[in-house]
Amino acid sequence: MERKLIKRVQFLQAYSLVLTAILAAMVLTGFVSRNNTKMDQLDVGRINVVEKDGRVRMVISNKELAPDPVLGGKTYPMRSGGNQAGIIFFNDVGDECGGLAYGVKQKDGKYAADSQLAFDQFNQDQTVGIQYSEENGNRFAGLKVWDRGETPASEIVDKITAAKAMKEGPEKARVMKEIEEAVKRGEYGALRIVVGKRDPDKTAEIMLADAAGKPRLRLSVNVAGAPKLEFLDADGKVFYSLPQK
């Protein structure tokens, strides 16, 4: 009897030892997989990179699941040019602050392609970007810099949206005219610097614009290697150039 009891105790000890080893292995395996997961391939429509408190800091997604813009803490439906696949960055307060987007459209033998890495001014739209765009062989590739005002982009979007929703009539026409004039003056943003190359003429060019976004200085070198410096007036007409014509 005593011998049987000793054997049972020994069995229970061995069983307990094996069970402890298995549990320890499971815990360690779980710990490693949570922190160092490795795989050869992953198919996914969207990845959200978040802080510990759940704030989204970056989204990598396909076109369908691309996030809508967030400005001033408010989400706006769709983008002006439509959503694209890519990466969107969000700042500490949750607003979009730049991203990488790319896409192409094809129809009836014609096409348009675009890729852009852009960074936004705080509370505003993009202020610097590296861009490639093409439409049926007419290409541009280069760097662009925009001026942005102090009025938050969310206020501008809300103002334009409200104006478009107004009932047709003189008051709506007046408000839309005010917005149009503000755009022309560059109050909602203006493209100030362009450094890039255009095809099919293969001209490399630097363009500097005034606060309203009107080109005022152009430095270029064409495909034959001929350099040119042009000064333009507010209407876009060249009033002086080197070499002189």
Mean of the pLDDT values across residues 6-17?
Answer: 53
Of 158 and 2, more confident = 158
Question: Residue 194 corresponds to which tokens in the numbers above?
Answer: 């362009």
Decide if pLDDT at 149 tops 70.
Answer: yes
pLDDT for position 119: 96
Three-class secondary structure assignment of the chain: CHHHHHHHHHHHHHHHHHHHHHHHHHHHHHHHHHHCCCCCCCCCCEEEEECCCCCEEEEEECCCCCCCCEECCEECCCCCCCCCEEEEEECCCCCEEEEEEEEEEEECCEEEEEEEEEEECCCCCEEEEEEEEEECCEEEEEEEEEECCCCCHHHHHHHHHHHHCCCCCHHHHHHHHHHHHHHHCCCCCEEEEEEEEEECCCEEEEEEECCCCCEEEEEEECCCCCEEEEEECCCCCEEEEECCC
Decide if pLDDT at 20 tops 80.
Answer: no
pLDDT for position 200: 87
Q: What is the pLDDT of residues 82-104, one digit of tens each?
A: 678 999 999 999 999 999 999 89
Q: What is the pLDDT of residues 105-135, one digit of tens each?
A: 999 999 999 999 999 999 999 999 999 999 9
Decide if pLDDT at 219 tops 80.
Answer: yes
Q: In percent, how much of the chain has pLDDT > 70?
A: 83
Least confident of 81-85, 161-165, 181-185: 81-85
Nearest to 125 by CA among 84, 160, 95, 85: 95
pLDDT for position 99: 94
Strands 85-90 and 203-209: unpaired
pLDDT band at 142 (very low <50, low <70, confident <90, very high): very high
pLDDT for position 83: 77
Q: Judge residue 182's burial from the number of C-beta atoms within 10 Å of its C-beta, 0-12 exposed, 13-18 middle, 19 or more buried.
A: middle
Summary mean pLDDT of the chain: 86
Entry field: residues in the chain? 245
Q: In percent, how much of the chain has pLDDT > 90?
A: 63
**Residue 74 phi, psi dihedral angles, 5° rounding:** -115, 135
Classify residue 184 as left (phi > 0), alpha (psi -120 to 50) or beta.
alpha
Decide if pLDDT at 203 tops 70.
Answer: yes
Which long-range CB contacts under 8 A does 183-189 form with residues at least 24 apart?
184/212, 185/211, 185/212, 186/147, 186/210, 186/211, 186/212, 186/213, 187/149, 187/151, 188/149, 188/151, 188/156, 189/124, 189/125, 189/146, 189/147, 189/148, 189/149
Mean of the pLDDT values across residues 64-80?
Answer: 84
Q: Could you state, in order of their start, the residue ranges of all structural domains in the chain?
A: 1-38, 39-110
Of 186 and 8, more confident = 186
Least confident of 17-26, 88-97, 225-234: 17-26
pLDDT for position 199: 87
Amino acid (1-letter code) at residue 86: G
Decide if pLDDT at 52 tops 70.
Answer: yes
pLDDT band at 13 (very low <50, low <70, confident <90, very high): low
